[in-house]
Amino acid sequence: MQVKRHFSLKFVLLMPLVIALLVLALTGKNYYDSVNRDIDDEYERITEALSRASKVISAIDYSFSNYSKSSYILMLEHNIQVKDGLCQMWPIDALLLSEGRHHEIPAVDINYMLVGDASLCDPESEEYKRVSGQVSLAPVLSFLHDIDSYLLGIHYIDREGYLMSSPDTYARSITAELLATLKARPYWQQTANNRDLITVTGPAPMPTTSVLVLSMTMPVYQGEVLQGMLSLDISYDDILDTHGKLAGKLGIVDTGFLSLPDNAMRTLDLELEGARGSHTLFYQFDLAKEIRNFFIFERYSLAVVAFIYVFSVIVLFFINTRVEHGYFKELAAKDPMTGLLNRRGLKAFLKTAQHSDYIALAVFDIDNFKSINDTYGHDVGDTVISHVADQITLNIRQSDVAARIGGEEFVIYMTGNDKALLQKGMTRVQLAIVATSADAVESGFTISGGVEIVTKDEERGFDSLFKAADEKLYQAKTTGKDKLVF
């Protein structure tokens, strides 16, 4: 027997899934919007950082382009040594100054170094005299280098072949060969040609190290004479570090020389005021990392999605169980062909029924039903039974109850305060069935019945009432049929 469900099993499983998928889609959209907002924030941060760096190098360029020669006293406050054929100069340790060993220079933490040919260390040389007029700007390099953590170094490379650098670690790594080739590098000429602009190059490895840097360079002119070049190195990894906000990495590429990677998304052309370059900022999309990041950041939302699905399935299963329970309960109490109560259902009803002054129980039986089956077939016989059930239902009150308790036997229960009206009601049912019988079978048919009516005070159980009514039915059958016996 196929069980009738209020909801099909497919609906129970798929409908919550559809709802869960909709919530999941909204969660995914929320994550997508969040990632895009984070990318926008990072792009803004990087753009602002690069703009600030460009202002730093512009300010230094202005200072170098407009310096005036000072006395040589500052050179006396520097450590000077020749090492591996190179002259190195750096400020006297700030700690010594703070201990009162010298009072003409304030005790500040400055960190820079000048590197050049050995002749730079000779106070009588032209290089010494030239650098003495520029060294007063070296503390500015040290100060500006410490403004932002992503600034790796600020360098001034003079046309005469010496280098002033902050911090001093870069200068200490310079070799004579590297110093000799600095002016021969492509960016030197490229920078010299962009006289009033900042030239942005890289990312590329810093000389003597594997650290990737973005470089901002500017030429230093006095009048029409190129004096040297300023270079500001920016840590590529530090400036692009999102500190875990994004699953993918950010990148910058010079599209004038290289193409964007295949997984580049959200590209943004970097446009810095006063700078020349063809750099593009991009987000490297990594599907596996994005999925992992999605599950990490949206784990609570995903838990809610899972809860919604499981809870919805449980609720629908509960509804189905209750409906099926009611269905089976009704199935056990009703006749499947006619929808009337069966014997069990009628007994259960009578146990809780509220009776008036009189109780009437009638047993109806279709006359010559076997002959109908033999003549017209069982299909017509079933039609006759259904017709009787329909007519009973149409001709009794809402407070009355009808049941089919056998093949062609029906029971009607009525209660009321007037015995004559109960008899009239039973008669009305019998007459209505006979009058419309031709609608079910061409030759029509008749029906007989026995009716037992008792007072509430002498109320008996169903079996007793049924037995009494059945005996009267037998009288009707044996005394001509097509009648009721009261």
Query: Residue 429: pLDDT above 60?
Result: yes
Bridge partners of 253, per DSSP, are 280
Which residue would you say has higher pLDDT here, 2 or 178? 178
| H or E stretch at 15 | helix 9-65
Query: Residue 304: pLDDT above 60?
Result: yes
Query: Residue 106: pLDDT above 80?
Result: no
pLDDT at position 202: 84
* Stretch 283-287: mean pLDDT: 91
Q: Going from the N-terminus, what domains does the chain have, and what CATH number goes with each?
A: 60-235 (3.30.450.20), 343-485 (3.30.70.270)
Highest mean pLDDT among 91-100, 242-251, 384-393: 384-393
pLDDT at position 227: 84
Q: Give the model's confidence band at 360: pLDDT under 50 very low, under 70 low, under 90 confident, else very high.
A: very high
Contact 206, 187 (CB under 8 A): no
pLDDT at position 326: 61
pLDDT at position 296: 85
Q: Give the model's confidence band at 110: pLDDT under 50 very low, under 70 low, under 90 confident, else very high.
A: low
pLDDT at position 95: 44
pLDDT at position 473: 94
Residue-wise pLDDT tens digits, 182-238? 777 777 778 888 878 888 988 988 766 778 989 888 888 877 888 888 888 899 999
Query: Residue 2: pLDDT above 70?
Result: no
pLDDT at position 72: 40
- Arithmetic mean of pLDDT over the chain: 83
Which residue would you say has higher pLDDT here, 414 or 103? 414
pTM: 0.59
Residue-wise pLDDT tens digits, 122-145? 888 888 878 876 776 777 776 776
* Stretch 54-58: mean pLDDT: 84
